[in-house]
C-alpha cells in the first residue's frame, strides 16, 4: 500500500511540474508585458498635450454648441499617433507591438478625456451666457457718433466689442 502512495505521488509530481513551470513563466511574461505597458502609458502621458484638446472642445462647444463640440470629440476619438521611433530602436518585436498598441490607446484616451471635459464646460458656459442674454455667436450692429460727429458703427459680438468707423 505504501508503494502505491509513493507511485501516485511520483506520477503526480512528474505530471504536475510542467504545469507549475508554465504558470511561473506566464506570470513572468505577464509582469514583463505589464512593465512595457506602464512605460508606454508614462511616455504617452508626457507626450500628450491635454490643453490643446481641452481648448478645442471648449471653444467649439462655446462657439457652436453641441454640433461643433461633437467635432472635437470625433477627432479626439480618431486620434492615434504613433510613438517616436527612437524609443523603439533595438527592441524586440514583442516589445514594439505591445508598446505601440498601448501608447496609441493611451494617447487617444487622454485626448478624448480632455475634449469631453472641454466640450462639457464649453456647453455649460454657452448655456450660462444664453441664460443671461449674451450669445457668443450672435452680433448686433449699433450706430452712434464719435466726439467729432462722425458716424460710427459698433459691432457688438458676444462679449467683445469691435468698433468699425464709417462715413468719414
Instruction: Tell me the domain boundaries of the chain.
Output: 2-133, 138-168
What residues does 168 pair with on adjacent strands?
Answer: none
Integer Cα distance of 83 and 99 in angstroms:
9
pLDDT, residue 10, reads 55
Cβ atoms < 10 Å from Cβ of 64: 16
Q: What is the mean pLDDT of each run of 10 residues along the chain (168 residues)?
A: 61 53 64 89 86 85 72 81 88 90 91 89 82 60 52 48 44
* Contact call for residues 28 and 40 (beta carbons, < 8 A): no
* DSSP H helices in the chain: 2-47, 50-77, 93-131
Q: Is the pTM of this model over 0.85?
A: no
Cα 116 to Cα 55, 127, 151: the distances in Å are: 10, 16, 45
pLDDT, residue 4, reads 63
Cα 118 to Cα 74, 113, 127, 132, 150: the distances in Å are: 13, 9, 14, 21, 43
pLDDT, residue 7, reads 56
* Contact call for residues 83 and 99 (beta carbons, < 8 A): yes
First-to-last alpha carbon distance for the chain, in angstroms, is 119
| CA dihedral angle for residue 120, residue 124, residue 126, residue 128, rounded to 10 degrees | 180
pLDDT, residue 38, reads 92
pLDDT, residue 82, reads 86
Residues 6+ apart with CB under 8 A from 155: 139, 140, 141, 142, 161, 162, 163, 164
pLDDT, residue 103, reads 92
pLDDT, residue 100, reads 92
Amino acid at each position: 500500500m505504501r508503494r502505491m502512495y509513493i507511485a501516485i505521488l511520483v506520477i503526480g509530481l512528474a505530471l504536475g511540474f510542467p504545469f507549475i513551470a508554465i504558470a511561473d513563466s506566464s506570470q513572468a511574461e505577464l509582469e514583463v508585458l505589464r512593465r512595457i505597458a506602464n512605460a508606454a502609458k508614462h511616455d504617452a502621458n508626457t507626450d500628450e498635450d491635454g490643453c490643446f484638446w481641452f481648448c478645442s472642445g471648449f471653444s467649439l462647444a462655446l462657439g457652436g454648441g453641441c454640433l461643433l463640440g461633437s467635432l472635437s470629440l470625433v477627432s479626439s476619438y480618431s486620434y492615434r499617433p504613433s510613438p517616436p521611433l527612437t524609443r523603439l530602436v533595438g527592441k524586440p518585436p514583442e516589445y514594439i507591438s505591445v508598446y505601440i498598441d498601448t501608447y496609441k490607446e493611451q494617447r487617444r484616451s487622454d485626448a478624448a478625456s480632455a475634449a469631453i471635459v472641454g466640450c462639457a464646460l464649453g456647453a455649460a458656459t454657452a448655456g450660462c451666457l444664453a441664460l443671461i442674454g449674451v450669445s457668443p455667436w450672435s452680433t448686433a450692429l449699433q450706430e452712434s457718433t464719435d466726439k467729432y460727429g462722425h458716424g460710427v458703427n459698433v459691432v457688438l459680438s458676444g462679449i467683445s466689442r469691435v468698433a468699425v468707423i464709417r462715413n468719414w
